[in-house]
Amino acid sequence: MIARIKGVISEKLDSSVVIELNGIGYEIFVPANTLLSVNEGDEGLFYIAENIKEDEYSLFGFPTRNARQIYYKLTSVNGVGPKAAMSILSAHSADDVQNAILSDDVNLFSSVSGIGKKTAQRIILDLKGKLVEVEKVEADESDQAYQALISLGYSAKDAQAVLKDIDSNLSTQERIKLALKGAKK
């Protein structure tokens, strides 16, 4: 699986760019707002989502990991394919899409060509519980107990919630034990 591609943008096409890397040109479909911000000759870094079908292999590129994650979430919704997800991310930033899901903003999605009101409602219904509001989760990511809980499958929000009432002066091992005793996964 290709996670990201970094190289020189050798061509800028209607809805994609060609990244030159070690003599190979990779065509990467990018959101329209990303396409406007790059030029031929620039060095580009794109986080890649692959779309593999029986008769097609496409690379979709995003400027941030978060944008790629939103793309994956969107394409997990029944009725939203790669092209519809790209249309949404071309019309709106990943942060705007995430905020629209969390605030039930059907109009943001239905304003995109090809996305009707029912599909917009389905996107919100399917994804609302799967997204975490970034501003509400402010954990110290260098905290070893926090990282241990994350590696055990806890969401960032849950890991932060169970650790907030545990004395941070205790050893990491003791904090993890107490967190596991009182935590709900």
Is the CATH number of domain 136-182 3.90.1570?
Answer: no
pLDDT at 173 over 70: yes
- The pLDDT-based confidence of 51 (bands split at 50, 70, 90) is very high
Q: Where are the domains of the chain?
A: 4-62, 65-130, 136-182
The sign one gets for the Cα dihedral 38, 120, 128, 71 is: negative
- DSSP 3-state percent helix, strand, coil across the chain (nearest 5): 45, 20, 35
Under CATH, which number does the domain 4-62 receive?
A: 2.40.50.140
Report how far apart, in Å, the C-alpha atoms of 183 and of each of 88, 121, 169 are: 37, 33, 19
pTM, to two decimals = 0.69
Burial class (CB in 10 A: 0-12, 13-18, 19+), 44: buried
pLDDT in tens, 3-25: 999 999 999 999 999 999 999 99
CA nearest neighbour of 131 among 48, 72, 81, 91 = 72
Share of the chain above pLDDT 90, in %: 59
**CATH of the structural domain 65-130, one choice from 3.30.460.20, 3.90.25.10, 1.10.150.20, 1.20.1250.20:** 1.10.150.20
Distance CA 164, CA 68 (A): 30
**DSSP category for residue 128:** G
pLDDT in tens, 27-42: 999 999 999 999 999 9
pLDDT value for 156: 74
pLDDT in tens, 106-140: 999 999 988 999 999 999 999 987 775 443 444 55
- Distance linking the first and last C-alpha atoms of the chain: 30
